[in-house]
């Protein structure tokens, strides 16, 4: 893995052509990304050789950011973030953990005052590739998305899926083919060594090495053999495609360009006069960078004319869980927490790990003693010996944890995996790291409001009567308008605790940094950006959408945006003739008006608009309910319920009287779907605009024998939905319903049974139980009444009774 010094007048293509006995000027350290053994070996090699420059695989245009590696406040896991300035949603991540060999190389350089550079293709070139171009298995170029689900702001281009020692998943036992080797060369080596699990092979051979010499030469030789066997020769791979022997697909061309660019950077370092050049790269690329480098001209031609986009580059906090394979990051590992333990722990690795496991279980009030830890340590060691492994690995430790500490309980083992094996620690970056002004404003505001950025979800209870809590609420609402979902409101808990309280679930994820970059196009501060985003979103929005925007704008305290929205709201309300749009628009306006007492915002115009919409809804409702089938009626019933709750919340006598009259009109009609007429009757009963006796009479009339069974079932569905306790507590209503069900003909009962099951199945369990108890008591009471009404003569019934008893086999 050495390159000899060139003569002073030698052309660039002749780098490495000097006398083989001379001191090597270049050492290539082929590593596995996020490997503690590789990180330890790289650190030791750098301490021994003391290079004058350190070249690290990574985007070359991120070189200015290397100065922050040694700064106070830079704590991994962190990631280099590159986002295109014209479309920030297209972004790439290069994550680093404490145990990443590249990170240790950068830290060593920072601690010793040695320049460090990234030598891979610039991020602007990587992001200029078309999504999915040439990537295997239909994935994005250079790997999977950055850990985000489809549609997340962070979903974009990942990095370095195919680097040498990225053991993503095991190769097949039956032997790898060319595509398998390119995707996971470690699996091919593991298969050759007789392992069916590449993770276990790499851990045995590399990660658990402590004082031994680093296996860089051996690994590089193995990679060279793989590349030669599968048609991608070591140092010559980068020249293919220049003439004749072109790479087979776009992905191979991209890999060839990457290695050509790396060689160019090595040549540049040598031309600058550096005596000792250390190169830290994925082991797959090591054969292309060691030994005598090929001529520079073919590499230059291969790199000519590459498309490039303008990008923003910065450091961003990352999480341990995003380093795991299941996050979707291509160069991930299954157990970042375990690997960090391997890197930071020098002795008694298994025992110290199991002590930490015991601590996690004790936090859950489980009785784990020192004897448990000792026994689990012994079991893990014995398992490793039985399996012929040099030391106990994660598999043995996990089995010992399950058997001894968790007593076979996989649920407890899942807690250990989440807390320790994977983990949720969030890295930090210094405040002076260059970023967009919007993110800087958010971080300053969050620091002032004492809102920490945490990777683990937590619940935040806010009392809006307190100034700091009110400011927190406004910040989270503004971020939600910008699409930066740091907090998710718990609507159910918020409504149950009144208008003075809000409940949020906070969870900071790395891809939210990309969302901030994207949102920065609206402004440089959170309030200004949110206001601009709202105003732009109102253009072309329909009435329900603009009313929701008004509601969110009020709770976010964006008065300038509200002033721009109100004229648009008036205009939409005057033109919209769709009654469903009108009904949709009423609740957000009324809820927004309700916030005046708590937040002190100016909403005088909202009450006027909301009242006008209720008047229009009342006028349009008779025509809107005509001719609807039951399915359409169910959809309208949801809007009717929401508007009814809003009118009651509005608590205006004139508006309430008008709404009640409209409901009475719907409830009294026989030419509309029973779902709506039954629902209107129920709403009137709940509002005490209809007596229980009158409601029972209407129910009895709707369920009379002259009405088709499906029609009566629809009426019952509308009346009973969400009100099991009402029926259970009113004997008259229950009797009417019970008589109707009892007198149904068999065909009619079969016809309406699905509707009844849907109606009663939607009730909460407690209400269903109360309703069942009420029906049981009703049946028992009727049986006693029938028995009391019977007047039998004992002498007349004695003979038939004796005959029946004899037939049943009873003694005479």
My answer on whether 52 and 128 are in the same domain is: yes
Q: Examine the fold and report which residue of 276, 304, 332 is the final residue of a domain before the chain moves on.
A: 304
My answer on whether 295 and 350 are in the same domain is: no
716 within some domain: no
My answer on whether 228 and 130 are in the same domain is: yes
pLDDT of residue 12 exceeding 60: no
Q: Examine the fold and report which residue of 422, 444, 461 is the final residue of a domain before the chain moves on.
A: 422
Over residues 220-228, the mean pLDDT reads 85
**In this predicted structure, what is the pLDDT of residue 212?**
52
**In this predicted structure, what is the pLDDT of residue 807?**
58
**In this predicted structure, what is the pLDDT of residue 602?**
54
My answer on whether 119 and 268 are in the same domain is: yes
Strand extents, DSSP E, 349-404: none
Question: Phi, psi (5° rounding) for residue 342?
Answer: -60, -35
My answer on whether 256 and 358 are in the same domain is: no
Q: How confident is the model at residue 300 (pLDDT cuts 50, 70, 90)?
A: very high
206 within some domain: yes
Q: State the total domains in the chain.
A: 2
725 within some domain: no
- Is the separation of the CB atoms in 91 and 27 below 8 Å? no
My answer on whether 58 and 207 are in the same domain is: yes
**In this predicted structure, what is the pLDDT of residue 557?**
86
Dump pLDDT digits (tens) for 594-634.
Answer: 655 444 455 566 777 777 778 888 888 888 888 888 888 88
My answer on whether 27 and 106 are in the same domain is: yes
Token digits for 147?
A: 């850990």
pLDDT of residue 141 exceeding 70: no
pLDDT of residue 157 exceeding 70: no
pLDDT of residue 358 exceeding 80: yes
**In this predicted structure, what is the pLDDT of residue 243?**
33
3-class SS at 399?
A: helix
The residue ranking higher by pLDDT, 246 or 185, is 185
pLDDT of residue 299 exceeding 70: yes
My answer on whether 19 and 132 are in the same domain is: yes
**In this predicted structure, what is the pLDDT of residue 719?**
77
My answer on whether 272 and 365 are in the same domain is: no
**In this predicted structure, what is the pLDDT of residue 149?**
30
pLDDT of residue 473 exceeding 50: yes
My answer on whether 254 and 362 are in the same domain is: no
Whole-angstrom distance, CA of residue 198 vs CA of residue 283: 15
Interior/surface letters 27-58, b for 16+ CB within 10 angstroms, e for the rest:
bbbbbbbbbbbbbbbbbebbeeeebbbbbbbb
Helices 296-303 and 250-271, axial angle in degrees (round to 10): 130
**In this predicted structure, what is the pLDDT of residue 279?**
95
The residue ranking higher by pLDDT, 669 or 601, is 669
Dump pLDDT digits (tens) for 426-464.
Answer: 888 888 888 888 888 999 999 999 999 888 888 999 988
pLDDT of residue 68 exceeding 70: yes
Q: Domain span at residue 81? A: 2-148+202-304
Cβ burial of 687 (10 Å; 0-12, 13-18, 19+) is: middle
**In this predicted structure, what is the pLDDT of residue 604?**
65
55 within some domain: yes
My answer on whether 103 and 214 are in the same domain is: yes
Looking at the chain, the whole-number percentage of residues with pLDDT higher than 70 is: 74
pLDDT of residue 262 exceeding 70: yes
**In this predicted structure, what is the pLDDT of residue 260?**
94
- Is the separation of the CB atoms in 331 and 159 below 8 Å? yes
Over residues 585-598, the mean pLDDT reads 67
Q: Examine the fold and report which residue of 248, 273, 304 is the final residue of a domain before the chain moves on.
A: 304
Determine the length of the chain. 812
Over residues 682-700, the mean pLDDT reads 79
- Is the separation of the CB atoms in 625 and 676 below 8 Å? yes
Largest Cα span, the chain: 135
pLDDT of residue 173 exceeding 60: no
Token digits for 97?
A: 């953990």
Question: Phi, psi (5° rounding) for residue 26?
Answer: -130, 130
Over residues 177-199, the mean pLDDT reads 66
401 within some domain: yes
**In this predicted structure, what is the pLDDT of residue 665?**
87
586 within some domain: no
My answer on whether 108 and 49 are in the same domain is: yes
753 within some domain: no
Write the DSSP symbol of residue 12: G
Q: How confident is the model at residue 726 (pLDDT cuts 50, 70, 90)?
A: low
674 within some domain: no
Q: How confident is the model at residue 67 (pLDDT cuts 50, 70, 90)?
A: very high
Dump pLDDT digits (tens) for 365-374.
Answer: 888 889 999 9
Token digits for 309?
A: 């986009």
Give residue for tokens 């006028």. Answer: 619
Whole-angstrom distance, CA of residue 24 vs CA of residue 22: 6
**In this predicted structure, what is the pLDDT of residue 223?**
86
Strand extents, DSSP E, 361-482: 458-463
The residue ranking higher by pLDDT, 376 or 8, is 376
Whole-angstrom distance, CA of residue 22 vs CA of residue 221: 22
């Amino acid at each position: 893995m050495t390159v000899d010094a060139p003569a002073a007048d030698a052309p660039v293509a002749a780098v490495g052509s000097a006398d083989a006995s001379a001191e090597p000027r270049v050492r290539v350290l082929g590593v596995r990304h996020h490997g503690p053994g590789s990180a330890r070996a790289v650190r030791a090699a750098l301490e021994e050789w003391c290079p004058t420059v350190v070249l690290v695989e990574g985007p070359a245009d991120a070189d200015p950011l290397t100065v922050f590696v040694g700064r106070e406040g830079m704590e991994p896991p962190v990631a280099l973030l590159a986002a295109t300035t014209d479309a920030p949603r297209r972004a790439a991540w290069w994550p680093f953990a404490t145990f990443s060999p590249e990170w240790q190389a950068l830290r060593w350089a920072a601690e010793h005052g040695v320049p460090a550079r990234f030598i891979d293709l610039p991020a602007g070139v990587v992001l200029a590739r078309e999504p999915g171009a040439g990537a295997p298995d239909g994935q994005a170029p250079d790997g999977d998305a950055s850990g985000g689900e489809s549609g997340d702001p962070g979903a974009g281009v990942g990095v370095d899926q195919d680097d040498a020692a990225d053991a993503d998943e095991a190769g097949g036992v039956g032997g790898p083919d060319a595509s398998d080797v390119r995707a996971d060369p470690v699996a091919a080596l593991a298969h050759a060594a007789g392992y069916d699990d590449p993770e276990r092979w790499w851990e045995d051979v590399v990660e658990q090495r402590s004082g031994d010499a680093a296996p860089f030469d051996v690994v590089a030789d193995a990679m060279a053999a793989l590349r030669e066997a599968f048609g991608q020769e070591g140092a010559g791979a980068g020249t293919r495609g220049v003439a004749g022997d072109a790479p087979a697909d776009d992905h191979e061309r991209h890999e060839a360009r990457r290695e050509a660019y790396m060689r160019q950077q090595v040549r540049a370092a040598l031309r600058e006069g550096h005596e000792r050049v250390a190169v830290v790269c994925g082991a797959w690329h090591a054969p292309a960078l060691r030994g005598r480098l090929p001529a520079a001209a073919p590499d230059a031609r291969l790199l000519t004319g590459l498309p490039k986009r303008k990008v923003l580059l910065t450091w961003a906090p990352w999480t341990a869980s995003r380093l795991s394979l299941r996050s979707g990051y291509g160069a991930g590992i299954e157990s970042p927490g375990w690997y960090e333990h391997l890197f930071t722990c020098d002795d008694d690795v298994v025992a110290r790990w199991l002590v930490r496991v015991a601590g996690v279980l004790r936090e859950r009030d489980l009785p784990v003693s020192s004897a448990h830890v000792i026994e689990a340590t012994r079991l893990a060691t014995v398992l490793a010996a039985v399996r012929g492994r040099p030391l106990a690995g994660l598999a043995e430790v996990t089995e010992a944890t399950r058997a001894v500490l968790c007593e076979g309980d996989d649920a407890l083992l899942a807690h250990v995996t989440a807390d320790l094996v994977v983990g949720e620690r969030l890295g930090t970056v210094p405040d002076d790291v260059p970023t967009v002004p919007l993110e800087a404003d958010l971080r300053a505001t969050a620091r002032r409001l004492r809102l920490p950025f945490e990777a683990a979800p937590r619940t935040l209870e806010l009392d809006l009567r307190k100034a700091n809590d009110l400011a927190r609420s406004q910040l989270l609402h503004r971020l939600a308008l910008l699409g930066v979902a740091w907090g998710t409101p718990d609507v159910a808990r918020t409504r149950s605790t009144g208008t003075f309280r809000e409940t949020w679930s906070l969870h900071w994820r790395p891809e939210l940094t990309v969302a901030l970059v994207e949102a920065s196009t609206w402004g440089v501060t959170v309030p200004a950006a949110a206001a601009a985003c709202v105003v732009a979103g109102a253009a072309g929005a329909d009435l329900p959408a603009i009313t929701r925007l008004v509601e969110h704008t009020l709770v976010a305290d964006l008065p300038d945006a509200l002033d721009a929205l109100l004229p648009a709201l008036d205009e939409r309300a005057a033109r919209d003739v769709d009654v469903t749009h009108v009904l949709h628009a009423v609740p957000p306006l009324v809820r927004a008006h309700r916030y005046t007492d708590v937040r002190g915002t100016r909403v005088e115009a909202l009450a006027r608009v909301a009242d006008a919409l209720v008047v229009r809804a009342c006028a349009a409702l008779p025509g809107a309910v005509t001719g609807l089938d039951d399915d359409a009626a169910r959809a309208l019933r949801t809007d009717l319920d929401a508007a009814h709750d809003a009118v009651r919340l509005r608590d205006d006598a004139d508006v309430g009287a008008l709404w009640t009259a409209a409901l009475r009109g719907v409830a009294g009609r026989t030419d509309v779907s029973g779902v709506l007429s039954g629902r209107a009757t129920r709403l009137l009963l709940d509002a005490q605009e209809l007596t229980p006796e009158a409601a029972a009479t209407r129910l009895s009339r709707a369920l009379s024998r002259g009405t088709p069974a499906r029609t009566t079932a629809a009426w019952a569905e509308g009346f009973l939905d969400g009100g099991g306790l009402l029926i259970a507590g009113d004997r008259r209503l229950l009797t009417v319903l019970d008589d109707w069900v009892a007198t149904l003909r068999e065909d009619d009962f079969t016809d309406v049974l699905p509707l009844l099951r849907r109606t009663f199945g939607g009730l909460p369990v407690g209400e269903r139980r109360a309703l069942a108890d009420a029906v049981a008591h009703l049946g028992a009471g009727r049986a006693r009444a029938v028995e009391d009404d019977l007047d039998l003569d004992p002498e007349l019934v004695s003979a038939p009774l004796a005959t029946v008893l004899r037939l049943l086999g009873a003694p005479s």
